[in-house]
Amino acid sequence: MITTGQIIRCKAAVAWEAGKPLVMEEVEVAPPQKHEVRIKILFTSLCHTDVYFWEAKGQTPLFPRIFSHEAGGIVESVGEGVTDLQPGDHVLPIFTGECGDCRHCHSEESNMCDLLRINTERGGMIHDGESRFSINGKPIYHFLGTSTFSEYTVVHSGQVAKINPDAPLDKVCIVSCGLSTGLGATLNVAKPKKGQSVAILGLGAVGLAAAEGARIAGAARIIGVDLNPKRFEEAKKFGVTEFVNPREHDKPVQEVIAEMTDGGVDRSLECTGSVQAMIQAFECVHDGWGVAVLVGVPSKDDAFKTHPMNFLNERTLKGTFFGNYKPKTDIPGVVEKYMNKELELEKFITHTVPFSEINKAFDYMLKGESIRCIITMGA
């Protein structure tokens, strides 16, 4: 391509300070360095993680910054040492990676790469610590190594999944974070058997993806738990069959679920980050065979407290990161599930906005109106 090895000037939505609307700017995007690729982003979406760090709650603020990590695009150029990707490839940038060399990458049981594991504080690239974005010579910081609120971005090749070029990027872009986290938590970690019961605590995007996994697995009962009753009708589209609003009961949720299911559900997934919900998820599974999976990220000082007899009575507690999917190895297969009509993505997409109106996506999420809002670049 003509742009190979050259600086590209393009539009990016820059967060200059915490909680303030993003500003459309012209940025310079440097060529990819060793083990990096430069991607033309065609579609991106907003995840709650972006909003959390944009608000700068509970972490060290790092601004100016280009957020976002759910996206789909086409490789524009590759840096030194990149052999598995080439210009023209259709790809999904991922917030975590797969170097292929560490013990985690060699393990069939782990997806927590030593080199490319999620790092929310890093504002530059791993190769040299420098940013590939700048405005008038001043660096603009990266986010999660992806920064897809830019028409072009630079990503480590280990964080790039090459996918079927026939897959519609305006749909499969949501596979690169929340959807896979919830879906994989159910299919890869909880592993419900056909006909079993599953409880989902938290019916946001990740919880609905977990419900979709339970639906695909053939669960007979999928019980949704949420404090917001407005979510219940929407959740039916994802296979949820019954609902519990904790505010409508005068006893703990785990007791309510145990009464509904003759002793507890077979599998449960906690998708809120609330430590109280984590305890409820564990204590609502049936003794002898119940498995609870923690998906949400707790606050730094939270502590999980339950009686040891809950373990001795043969309940199992597990945790998961990104649904136990290896980004480069497994995510192309999730896309194929959609292409084969095993996985439904359209129902997750509630809004679409042009890149020029990106702040509307934040409004929709902050008001609780959206599951996923697709942002069309170049529009």
Q: Is the pLDDT of residue 48 over 90?
A: no
Q: What is the per-residue pLDDT for 378?
A: 80
Q: 207: closest CA among 182, 176, 186, 225?
A: 182
What number is the average pLDDT over the span 8-13? 98
Which one from 25, 28, 48, 122 is the annotated catalytic residue?
48
State mean pLDDT over 240-258: 97
pLDDT at 1: 63
- What are the Cα distances from residue 359, in Å, to 22, 47, 57, 179? 7, 13, 19, 22
Active site residue 177: yes
CATH architecture of 8-24+52-63+70-176+324-376: Alpha-Beta Complex (3.90)
Query: Of the listed 3, 25, 102, 127, which one is catalytic?
Result: 102
Annotated catalytic residue, options 35, 38, 44, 47: 47
Place of tokens 């872009």: 173
Please tell me the predicted confidence (pLDDT) of residue 298.
87
Reported confidence tier of residue 255, pLDDT bands at 50, 70, 90 = very high
Q: Work out the percent of the chain whose per-residue pLDDT is above 90.
A: 93
Q: Which of 65, 69, 231, 351 is catalytic?
A: 69
Residue that the structure tokens 């984590």 belong to: 278
User: In the predicted model, is pLDDT for residue 379 greater than 80?
Assistant: no
Is there a catalytic annotation at residue 117?
yes
- Domains of the chain, by residue range, sit at 8-24+52-63+70-176+324-376, 179-313
Residue showing tokens 């405005």: 135
Res 244: pLDDT: 98
Is the domain spanning 179-313 CATH 3.40.50.10490? The answer is no
Write out pLDDT tens, residues 289-339.
Answer: 999 999 998 887 899 999 999 999 999 999 999 999 999 999 999 999 999
Catalytic residue at 9? no
The Cβ-side half-sphere exposure at 116, using a 13 Å CA radius, reads 26
Share of the chain above pLDDT 70, in %: 99
Distance in angstroms (rounded) separating the CA atoms of residues 42 and 257: 44
pTM, full prediction: 0.95
Displacement of CA 190 from its chain's centroid (Å): 18
Question: Is the pLDDT reported for residue 58 higher than 70?
Answer: no
pLDDT of 65 reads: 97
Strand arrangement of the beta sheet that strand 267-270 belongs to: 242-244, 221-225, 197-201, 267-270, 291-294, 316-319
The answer to whether 267 and 198 are in contact (CB under 8 A) is yes
For the segment 154-181, the average pLDDT, to the nearest whole number, is 97
How confident is the model over 124-162, as pLDDT tens digits?
A: 999 999 999 999 999 999 999 999 999 999 999 999 999
Catalytic residue (one of 44, 49, 96, 320):
49
Mean pLDDT computed over every residue of the chain: 96
Q: Specify the pLDDT at position 356.
A: 96
Count other C-beta atoms under 10 Å from residue 94's C-beta. Answer: 31
As a whole number of angstroms, the distance between CA 273 and CA 291 comes to: 18
Is 105 considered catalytic here?
A: yes
At 228 the pLDDT is 93
Residue 2: predicted pLDDT: 82
Residues 141/124, Cβ–Cβ less than 8 Å: yes
Helix axes 275-283, 253-260, angle to 10 degrees: 30
Is the backbone of residue 185 left (phi > 0), alpha (psi -120 to 50) or beta? alpha
Assess whether 284 carries a catalytic annotation.
no
* Average pLDDT score over residue span 61-78: 96
- In the numeric block, the tokens 């300070």 are attached to 17
The pLDDT score that the predictor gives to residue 311 is 95
Q: Could you write out the DSSP letters of every residue in 293-348? A: EE-SPPPTT------THHHHTT-EEEE-SGGG--HHHHHHHHHHHHHTTSS--GGG
